Amino acid sequence: MSTPLVVAIDGPSGSGKSSTSRGVATRLGLAYLDTGAMYRAMTWALLQAGVDVDDPAAVAAAAEHVDVRSGTDPLDPTIHVGDTDVSGPIRGDRVTAAVSPVATVPRVRELLVDLQRRAIAASDGIVVEGRDIGTVVAPDAAVKIYLVADPTARAARRAAEQGGADAAATEASLARRDEIDSSRAASPLTKADGATVVDSTFLTLDEVIDAIVGIVESR
């Protein structure tokens, strides 16, 4: 059995990773895995269970019992905890505010990285988006992309997605999450060796997808 084609797409919040990754997967007929949604689903379950997300030992202990299930169809990416569809609540403010501290807990990362590697192994080719895909989850990925964008552009996009939220407040919240994600000890956000940097600041979504599809096809 040959190893499946893996396209790893890492980068900070708001760089356009999700729309880009789904678009690339759809164009290339590949599966798609949103690992950020998995950290969000874990966070939702812990909040639901009343766990103090700022207590790493409590988070690590409770995480063992959380059953995160990800669908890998880029046209219909699903996310469940057990049988509960959590695709709506994981995008809410409560989860968004709590997800970075949860994602710093090493045991949470071990559990979710294990699930991610299983999904990759079970696929016939997959686009995987996150923060540590090229560095930790799939360091042997055939294609590694580090997707970046100017912070103001990222905040403007996020605010528009959220129906015209305050762009300045969104930029501050993104900056806070970037700081936690980039400075944590366990698998910080950083460009992987061999990753190609794609800057989406001045590109449309289709242009970013074209650029990455071009990189995959010319490998």
Residue 151 lies near ligand DC (rule: CB under 6 A):
no
If the CB atoms of residues 51 and 99 are measured against ligand DC, the closer one turns out to be: 99
Residue 40 lies near ligand DC (rule: CB under 6 A):
yes
Give the nearest distance from C-beta 9 to ligand DC in angstroms: 10
* CA neighbor of 33 nearest in space, from 47, 17, 44, 49: 17
The torsion defined by the Cα of 7, 12, 15 and 20, in degrees rounded to 10, comes to 20
Report the first-to-last Cα separation within the chain, whole angstroms. 20
Which residues, numbered 164-193, are part of the site for ligand DC (CB under 6 A)?
177, 181
Which residues, numbered 200-219, are part of the site for ligand DC (CB under 6 A)?
none
Q: Which two tokens stand for residue 70?
A: 């990800």
Residue 59 lies near ligand DC (rule: CB under 6 A):
no
Partners of residue 33 on adjacent β-strands = 128
| Burial (Cβ within 10 Å: 0-12, 13-18, ≥19) of residue 131 | buried
Which of 36-44, 150-158, 163-171, 197-205 is the region at the interface with ligand DC (rule: CB under 6 A)? 36-44
Residue 12 lies near ligand DC (rule: CB under 6 A):
no
C-alpha distances out from residue 124 to 31, 143, 194, 208, 214, Å: 8, 15, 23, 24, 20
C-alpha distances out from residue 101 to 97, 122, 144, Å: 9, 30, 26
Total residues interacting with ligand DC, rule: CB under 6 A: 13
Which of 35-43, 138-146, 148-156, 168-176 is the region at the interface with ligand DC (rule: CB under 6 A)? 35-43
What contacts 151, CB < 8 A, 6 or more positions away?
171, 174, 175
* CA neighbor of 176 nearest in space, from 116, 108, 120, 97: 97
Give the nearest distance from C-beta 58 to ligand DC in angstroms: 19
Residue 35 lies near ligand DC (rule: CB under 6 A):
yes
Out of 53, 103, 145, 159, the only residue in the binding site for ligand DC (CB under 6 A) is 103
Give the nearest distance from C-beta 2 to ligand DC in angstroms: 25
Which residues, numbered 123-142, are part of the site for ligand DC (CB under 6 A)?
130-132
- Residues of this chain that bind ligand DC (CB under 6 A): 13, 35-36, 39-40, 99-100, 103, 130-132, 177, 181
